[in-house]
């Protein structure tokens, strides 16, 4: 899905931009934090979909807090070979469904598509 590819990048860039604009316009830091909360919310939605698709235990509160305090959680999900997004079907066709696992075995909590 395109929203999980572009929205986090755009929201995080706006977060940084608003903090830079604080030098010229007082109060922009608050708008920047609004964008960061949007960034964390998109990451939360991404993790909720991954949890639902692969039947991984957890809650939406954990997902939101992970997005808020550990923004690299999206990279963690990608490193665990859970492609979800715009190019996920193409990646699976090119590199195989066990990409990233040297022994070819799946991690617990994952099932074949």
Spell out the per-residue pLDDT of the chain, length 113, in tens: 566 778 888 999 999 999 999 999 999 999 999 999 999 999 898 888 888 888 889 999 999 999 899 888 877 777 765 555 544 444 443 444 444 445 545 555 555 55
Q: What does the pLDDT read at residue 53?
A: 83
Q: What does the pLDDT read at residue 46?
A: 87
Q: What does the pLDDT read at residue 86?
A: 47
Distance CA 68, CA 104 (A): 33
Distance CA 28, CA 50 (A): 34
Distance CA 59, CA 51 (A): 9
Q: What does the pLDDT read at residue 25?
A: 96
Closest among 10, 15, 12, 13 to 32, alpha carbons compared: 15
Q: What does the pLDDT read at residue 100?
A: 47
37, 50 Cβ separation under 8 angstroms: no
Q: What does the pLDDT read at residue 18?
A: 97
48, 34 Cβ separation under 8 angstroms: no
Nearest-Å Rg of the Cα atoms of the chain is 17
Task: To the nearest 10°, report the CA torsion of 5, 40, 64, 54.
Answer: 10
The pTM of this model reads 0.67
Q: What does the pLDDT read at residue 82?
A: 54
Closest among 12, 32, 36 to 21, alpha carbons compared: 32
Q: What does the pLDDT read at residue 84?
A: 54
């Amino acid at each position: 899905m395109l929203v999980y590819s572009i929205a986090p990048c755009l929201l995080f860039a706006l977060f940084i931009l608003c903090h830079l604009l604080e030098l010229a316009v007082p109060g922009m830091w608050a708008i920047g934090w609004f964008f960061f909360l949007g960034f964390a919310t998109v990451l939360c939605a991404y993790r909720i979909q991954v949890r639902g698709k692969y039947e991984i235990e957890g809650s939406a509160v954990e997902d939101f807090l992970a997005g808020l305090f550990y923004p690299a959680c999206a990279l963690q999900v990608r490193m665990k070979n859970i492609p979800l997004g715009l190019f996920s079907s193409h990646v699976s066709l090119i590199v195989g469904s066990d990409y990233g696992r040297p022994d070819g075995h799946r991690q617990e909590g994952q099932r074949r598509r």
